[in-house]
Structure 1
Amino acid sequence: MNLNDISRKNRLTDEINHYFVEYLKQVNYTGLFGVAPFSSVYINLMPIQQNRLKKLLKSNLNNYMELGSIISLAIAYRSETIKNINSNRDGLVKKERWNLYSDKYEHLNNMLKEIGHKIAVKFKGIAIPPTTETPAENINYVSDYYQHTISHRLVAEHAGIGWRGKSELLITKMHGPAVRLTSVILKGPLVYGKMIIDGCGECNACLEACPILKKKYKLKNYREQCRLYIISLGLKHDVCGKCLKACYFNGRWKQVN
């Protein structure tokens, strides 16, 4: 790659990042931006998600494998939102408080969908929505979700935004696990982030907060147990957040340099 190509790549990456930062200022939220090589994400996806990208990109797949990029966008929850998760008083869970977190989950998803679409239009990319928008009660098994999206956490890992925690959430240095994610595919090369080495160490805050996570290696499919538990909560949206809250307030991530 010659100097002109490098300069063009740097300039475009900065331009997209600036566009995202300006959006965050407008909506009064904070967030994170990173970029991963398309090929490194693709080869690590589940086969069913690779097939989704094959159908999406069709005959252009090889071009993306050679030069393509995937942008990872994160928008962070505010601290007061996280406090509402599993809020209880005198041993009684306050579902109305928990639903405040549920509402913000939907709000962040809507913002990510909006900015992802805007970036895709402006920079001629392809936006992958933050969620499948498929209600949990319409899913027979957790694996039914996989064909409808790609792993935004995997994209964020390869973009250097954070690492995969013991809860399987993405953990960031600035916001811990308190982020929602979306991704945008671009055809050309950008400046790529570097993957972060696991920062959890001996911390088990998330595992201690959730009996399902604590025994996940003993369960046939702990993700299915999580799905069923989320349905049982009966919140406005398909969320729980217990592990997120435990990590956010008690986790080791704030000590990672």
Structure 2
Amino acid sequence: MLNDINNDIKEVNIRKIEHFFLDYLKNIKYKGIFGIANFSSVHNNLIPEQQEKLRILLQAQFDDFLKLGSIISLGIFYHPEIIECINLVNDGKIDKESWNKYANEYEYLNKLLKDISNKIAFKFNGIAIPPTTGTPSANVNNVIDYFPKTISHRLVAEYAGIGWRGKNELLITEQFGPALRLVSILINIPLIQGNRIESKCGSCRACLDVCHILKNKNNLEDYRENCRKYLVALGLNHDVCGKCIKTCIKKGIFKDTFGIYQRD
């Protein structure tokens, strides 16, 4: 009986948060995704620098979160026409102007996610973790400089059960692939938590074939540092590339499923 009551409370809480998020998405005319991860599971799988980040954020609440805490994972999907702008070639030249539409959308989605995560954190007494550190790649000496500044939103989303880690090291959702940005919110109210999804990429190599860094990641000291240097050299308005996202949607094994990726 007590378990039924607890489950009812969890269900009510999750619906309140979900409806708040869906109303926000409706107003901004974007699609999104929502899930809840177990705090302890996420914490135990983060690198030490990011585990310490959680300790700093939570302070005296940390032990309580280890016992019962959750992390909300929110994602907002890119509009499909923006994905089409990635790595276009016109008259034999890379169309940087079009590519920057994707870069600018990246920054815009981050702002939306920061806004909605702060609103949810305020309404439900949580702690929002910003979608990015806000530090350009050119302003750090190595990718490891980022590690203590945030946590892996992708890992949170994995343990929330809203997608799996692809071979491009991004979160892959069944609905729209990897074409989304993520944010996380620490919260300690009763909620129904999701479960981690194992990879469904199988033998697909679409993202590996389009990116020599991903293709050789197992032979590199840290492929993420190679990516950082490439983004600096690419020189878009913001630190993005997106080639592996586009090819996953257009050429990957789920391309027919992702074909429904279109605006209402």
What is the CA–CA distance in structure 2 between the aligned matches of 1:59 and 1:184, rounded to whole Å? 17
Q: Which runs of 5+ in 2 are unaligned?
A: 259-264
Aligned-pair CA distance for 1:256: 7.4
- Any residues of structure 2 matched to 1:160-175 within 5 Å, and which? 160-175=161-176
Deviations 1:68-104 (A, max 9, x none): 1000000001111001011111320010000000010
- Any residues of structure 2 matched to 1:1-257 within 5 Å, and which? 2-254=3-255
SS in 2 for 1:73: strand
SS in 2 for 1:33: strand
Q: How many residues align?
A: 257
Query: Displaced runs of 4+ in structure 1, greater than 4 A?
Result: 254-257
What is the CA–CA distance in structure 1 between the aligned matches of 2:257 and 2:28, rounded to whole Å? 28
TM-score, with structure 2 as normaliser: 0.95
Q: Is the 8 A contact 1:64 1:188 kept in 2?
A: no
What is the CA–CA distance in structure 1 between the aligned matches of 2:4 and 2:255, rounded to whole Å? 38
Deviations 1:164-199 (A, max 9, x none): 000101000001010100000101231111222211
Q: Is the 8 A contact 2:10 2:191 kept in 1?
A: yes
Percent identity between the aligned chains? Answer: 53
What is the CA–CA distance in structure 1 between the aligned matches of 2:158 and 2:221, rounded to whole Å? 26
Q: Is the 8 A contact 1:171 1:253 kept in 2?
A: no
Aligned-pair CA distance for 1:58: 1.2
What is the CA–CA distance in structure 2 between the aligned matches of 1:124 and 1:245, rounded to whole Å? 37
Q: Is the 8 A contact 2:175 2:257 kept in 1?
A: no
Q: Is the 8 A contact 1:174 1:254 kept in 2?
A: no
SS in 1 for 2:218: coil
What is the CA–CA distance in structure 1 between the aligned matches of 2:61 and 2:79, rounded to whole Å? 39
SS in 1 for 2:213: helix
